[in-house]
Chain A
Amino acid sequence: MSLGHYLLLGAALFIIGLFGALTRRNVIGILMSIELMFNAANINLAACNSYLHPAGVAGMTLAVFVITVAAAEVVVGLALVLAVYRNSATAYVEDFSLLKG
């Protein structure tokens, strides 16, 4: 398996995640799609690390950081979703038009 395969896999995952971020009506659906995009990036990092720089582990370390940040972001996001849901009783993103104008 060459590097290209892993990169293509990452690309496919990223595109699927992008599509989901653009089209899901549920807020949590968007969050989940974003998680997919993070994972695609992680695959890219790990693959490039192991194919191009097998002596070091810098790519994987960065991937660990990405995981961490993704986790923090999901937590905060979900907390926000809960707060918003309590106020407006809807979890669909098209109902929030406060940025209108």
Chain B
Amino acid sequence: MIEAIAFYSMAAVALLGALLVVSLRNTVHSSLALGLSLAGVAGIFANLGADFLFAGQLLIYVGGIAIIIVFVVMLLGRTSDLHLRQVNQQWGAALLVCAMTGVSLWRLARGYLGVRAAAPAAPTTRAIGLLMLGDYAVPFELVTLVLVAALLGAIFFSRKSADGEVPS
């Protein structure tokens, strides 16, 4: 009972936020709705008992990525654009494609509707840590490299040179 309420409420938040992301005309509102949706997803993680993921999602996604997106939207957005449509000409085809994908995903997931939780959730932080530094040590280091590369790339692409020219 409690679990169902929790699930449906979090799911509703996530989905609502997602719908707002893809449909709002104001990009700032859209980015804020993204944050809401991400928070809802964090709640779903909590429902599943993935405590580390719940915390990580909130810290990184909501607190990091969503905020960055808000920053950049602010940087780029113009008030003169607020009345323009944000959905392009191919929305019908996209709707069809999404419908077809949805049909296949629905048929896939339907089979698992009867699967119930086998055991109550346990704390996972320690296990994840052990796994990362044990079996998945190599991906862990590689991901580190990816982050460093991303950092460098971001710096490179957004700096101004000495004479005021921007790299393109």
Contacts and interface: CB of A to CB of B under 8 A. Distances in A.
Interface of A: 1-9, 11-20, 22-26, 28-29, 31-33, 35-36, 39, 42-43, 46-47, 49-52, 54, 56-58, 60-61, 63-65, 67-76, 78-87, 91, 94
Contacts, number: 250
Interface residues of B, number: 90
B112 A83 contact: no
Given A4-B111, A35-B34, A60 B22 contact: no
Given A17-B18, A29-B86, A46-B48, A76 B94 contact: no
Given A25-B85, A33-B21, A61-B131, A4 B41 contact: no
Main secondary structure of the interface of B (DSSP, over half): helix
Contacts of B7: 1, 5
Main secondary structure of the interface of A (DSSP, over half): helix
B83 interface: no
B61 A46 contact: no
